[in-house]
Amino acid sequence: MPARKPPRRPPRPAAAIDPAVGTEVELEVTGVAHGGVTVARHEGRVVFVADAIPGERVHARVTDAKKSFWRADTLEVLEASPHRQAHVWAEASIDRDPEGRAGGAEFGHIALAHQRELKRQVATDALARFARIDAGELEVQALPGDDETNGTGWRTRVRLQVGPDGIVGPYAARSHTVIPVRSLPLATAAIAEIAPLATRFSDAASVDLIAPSNGRALTVVTTRDGSTPPLKPIVEAVGDRRFELDALGFWQVHREAARALTAAVQRAIDADAFDPRAANLDLYGGVGLLAAAVGDRFGQATRITSVESYEPATDFAARNLSDWVGARAITARVERFVRNLADDATAVERGRQRAATIVLDPPRAGAGKAVIDELVRTEPAQLVYVACDPVAFARDAALLGEAGYGIRSLEAFDLFPNTHHLELVARLTR
């Protein structure tokens, strides 16, 4: 007898849309929030406002209404900040309907120096709020050449999306709508030259544009089934050192970022606390950029292990770190790797762990409690944390603080001009 099919459930009703969505309101913008938006209040409710600047009065439309806050898009600036400028990307300008504004340059309407001030405020507020740390007079440092170009011409990698009609372009802010554009002002000249902005693609999901520091720029089309053509490795240069990697592998996007972070990590390490024979680590190591920074500062005998979960990157790291006798690259999930460190260590290895310098450059979500808890069990001499998200870093800094590790040095870098992102490099010791 065939099994009876379970009765069909009635379709679930669509979630009710808050009647506030679509409402147009006048707002006094009072501050900046993490994520590239500003803060206002309407009848006591917090409103996160896109495309505004603290100090402005704007006319905005509510796009999302939660119980505790709203989100809104600026439609018109009624009283402009002295820091407002014509948007560096015409296709992202406030002159356009919000749904038709290109995403990826959410601070492009703000003068560059004031962008950095707002980023400083976000970073210092996050550290104060989540870690109870006073960051003092933190400065968000510009990278070479950015002031001269008003923060344009720095992206060496750009991913364009392909819409159902074959049109190529960036997504609109906070959506998956593809916006056709005529320019890519944040991209380097090499990227802009090959950008297929007027081309229609069939069976394509995305188009990657890559301009390595060594070699010609290239275009990589990913089809809707996720396939790409066979690709040769590319080579990136940092000073006199060369790094080989997959064409679509991770590398710092700003043309000067790899050089800036190499120097920042080298500065951050306390030489008096560094032991080249210790169990030094480079976690989330990629193709070995920061492990090489350590090796270049402290010599060919430096012992350092680079840990990365993506096996092709680990293979490249092994080659890129071959100059150092004590360097090795391991494919492993960082959480699992650090969990085994203390459990499996001999007495001699425990001593090497306590003398270690650990460099970690986690993804945007941060290292997290599981990794931090295991790291502090090894009692390293110093941690050098490279962070691309100030809130995630502040949460991790709070966990480290509970274990007795405080911030001894902190630098901030504007690696992503005309966006809300910044990079932090910190040294933490007991």
Tell me the two tokens of residue 210.
């890559």
Beta strand pairing call for 382-387 and 357-360: parallel
324: annotated active-site residue = no
Helix axes 334-344, 347-354, angle to 10 degrees: 130
The closest alpha carbon to 269, from 238, 278, 370, 309, belongs to 278
Three-state SS for 110? strand
**What sign for the dihedral angle of Cα 368, 369, 375, 380?**
positive
Active-site residue, from 204, 293, 388, 410: 388
Alpha helices in 216-346 (DSSP H): 257-268, 289-298, 311-320, 334-344
- 241-267: burial string, b at 16+ Cβ within 10 Å, e else: bebbbbbbbbbbbbbbbbbbbbbbbbe
Residue 84 has phi, psi (to 5 degrees) of -75, 140
Q: Is residue 411 a known part of a binding site?
A: no
CB 151 within 8 A of CB 88: yes
- Measured between alpha carbons, how far is 315 from 168 in angstroms, rounded to an integer? 33
Q: Could you count the other beta carbons within 10 Å of the beta carbon of residue 120?
A: 20
Three-state SS for 139? coil
Q: Is residue 389 a known part of a binding site?
A: no
Q: Could you count the other beta carbons within 10 Å of the beta carbon of residue 18?
A: 14
> What is the rounded end-to-end Cα distance, in angstroms, of the chain?
71
Q: Is residue 252 a known part of a binding site?
A: yes
Residue 301 has, within 13 A of its CA and on its CB side, a CA count of 5
Length of the chain: 430
Q: Is residue 308 a known part of a binding site?
A: yes
- 367-393: burial string, b at 16+ Cβ within 10 Å, e else: bbeebbbbbbbbbbbbbbbbbbbbbbb
- 60-74: burial string, b at 16+ Cβ within 10 Å, e else: bbbbebeeeebbbbb
| Binding-site positions | 252, 284, 308, 361
Q: Which residues are catalytic?
A: 388
| Binding-site positions for S-adenosyl-L-methionine | 252, 284, 308, 361
